Chain A
Amino acid sequence: MNLYHYAAPATFYHLAGRWIPWFAWGAALLAGIGLYISFFVAPTDFQQGEAYRIIFIHVPTAWMSMFIYLVMAFWCAIGLAFNTRLSFLMARALAPTGALFCFLALWTGALWGKPMWGAWWVWDARLTSQLILLFLYVGIMALWAAIDDPKRGDRAGALLILVGAVNVPIIYFSVTWWNTLHQGSSINLTKAPSMATIMLVGMLVMAVAAWLYTIAVAFVRVRGLILERERHTDWAQAALKEA
């Protein structure tokens, strides 16, 4: 299989169109199974009661929010190195989903924190670095929104994402440091109690569902972006008439 063949926007547009239903239905199916496991199969936690069930949403969203940033950084590096137009479009298509997951992780974290810690928000290292990650997403999308020239926007956004990718581990490290300096280790998130297997299964199913959802949504968005960029070409006109 020649990968460069699919790097052409015209080919990828049709390929993505064929794949979207598979990913979308897969995501819906797995989310259904995952939610069933989380609410009906998984036992009540003896320490945290029913409130722990939020982790089935919380953990996959937090994972995805970080993972999507890495994928964006990967596509940006590829785009800058090989000058492939599609790579930048992938990064653009992924960013809103990443920001959404980031927000959901913070939101569900707050919902979980209220019954567990007695506060909606604590300046814990993980929460704080997640918040800063959300700021990074917002900054990148604001930069894209402000630049009208698509080529300049692609490259400027890519540079910012890569700078952020280098900085993210440093931010996480410094926030952890700051956290231990400013407050005692009254809350310890890292020491997770051993989890029942069925809980882990539920979480992993939800994580895969989040993956498939991300791919499906990113493909829908990237198709839109491709059409927008290629609107002057014949194939794009033909594809628009079909649709």
Chain B
Amino acid sequence: MWRFLMTVIRRDLLLAARRKGDWLTSQFFFVMVVSMFPLGIGADPEQLRRVAGGVLWVAALLASLLSLQRLYADDHRDGSLEQMLLSPQPALILALGKAIAHWLIFGLPLLVIAPLLGLQFALPPDAIGTLVISLAIGTPVLSLLGGVGAALTLGLRGGGTLLTLLILPLYVPALIFGAGAVDGVLAGMGAEAQLSLLGAFMGLCLLLAPWVTGAALRVSVD
């Protein structure tokens, strides 16, 4: 089971390494969406600081949805997903491995980019630190919950838009706690409470989402 998990992760990382354009797209999307905000709302540092947490988090949600469309679609098209589901290994492990790989490809680079964007938004260093921590705890939620949506919308027409409709409302707690942590630091209240709640939500998703994703894959591929 452990070996199957590692194989799934390694396979996805290898595929991503061979096709750099694919995963870099969502990272650049993240940067671009964030950069549009100062152009839209004005460059006043005071105002930018106030909205930074929310803007970065919303951009992260959208970027994750962009990359999630591909999570199972390619494997579904070339038939390898069906083969993996036919293997004696539980679909839960497959879903978990896919989510971990997605996080390594999508979430981890985001943690590197976010501090730079935080500087552009005039965030003080402690708020930038909190932003990175909140993204570190929160982006696995995006990969896990998004996996459910990706599995449900597998092979449907308008899958990308549909995925957004299904999953964005479910992301709300992650957005509130994640952006709330940054705001909490800015307001001088500390971020422990929000980060703890975000961690609890992540734990719940880690427990339930791979299981639901596995069931959804079986429904969709059947």
* Complex-state Cα separation, A167 to B158, whole angstroms: 25
Q: Spot the interface stretch: A49-57, A135-143, A206-214, A225-233.
A: A135-143
Residues of chain A at interface, number, CB under 8 A = 30
Instruction: Indicate which residue in B153, B169, B219 contacts A146 across the interface (CB closer than 8 Å).
Output: B153
A interface majority secondary structure: helix
Instruction: Indicate which residue in B167, B169, B180 contacts A171 across the interface (CB closer than 8 Å).
Output: B169
Known: A143-B152, A174-B177. A160 touches B172 (CB 8 A): no
User: Within 8 Å of chain A (Cβ to Cβ): is B208?
Assistant: yes
Known: A138-B165, A146-B162. A164 touches B170 (CB 8 A): yes
Taking CB atoms, residues of chain A closer than 8 Å to B169 are: 132, 135-136, 139, 164, 171
User: Within 8 Å of chain B (Cβ to Cβ): is A163?
Assistant: yes
* Complex-state Cα separation, A103 to B166, whole angstroms: 18
Closest chain-A Cβ to B212's Cβ sits at a distance in Å of 6
User: Within 8 Å of chain A (Cβ to Cβ): is B6?
Assistant: no
Which A residue's beta carbon lies closest to that of B157? A146
Q: Contact at B222–A152, with CB atoms within 8 Å?
A: yes
Q: What size tier do the contact residues of chain B reach?
A: 20 to 34
* Complex-state Cα separation, A192 to B177, whole angstroms: 29
Q: Contact at A170–B166, with CB atoms within 8 Å?
A: no
Can you spell out 10 A-B residue pairs with CB atoms less than 8 angstroms apart? A132-B169, A135-B165, A139-B169, A140-B166, A143-B166, A163-B212, A171-B172, A175-B172, A177-B176, A178-B176
- Interfacial residues, chain B to chain A (CB-CB below 8 A): 145, 148, 152-153, 156-159, 162, 165-170, 172-173, 176-177, 180, 183-184, 197, 201, 204, 208, 212, 215-216, 219-220, 222
Beyond A146-B162, A160-B166, 15 additional pairs, beta carbon < 8 A = A136-B169, A139-B166, A142-B162, A143-B162, A146-B156, A146-B159, A152-B220, A156-B219, A159-B152, A167-B173, A171-B169, A171-B173, A174-B177, A175-B172, A181-B184
- Interfacial residues, chain A to chain B (CB-CB below 8 A): 132, 135-136, 138-140, 142-143, 146-147, 151-152, 155-156, 159-160, 162-164, 166-167, 170-171, 173-175, 177-178, 181-182
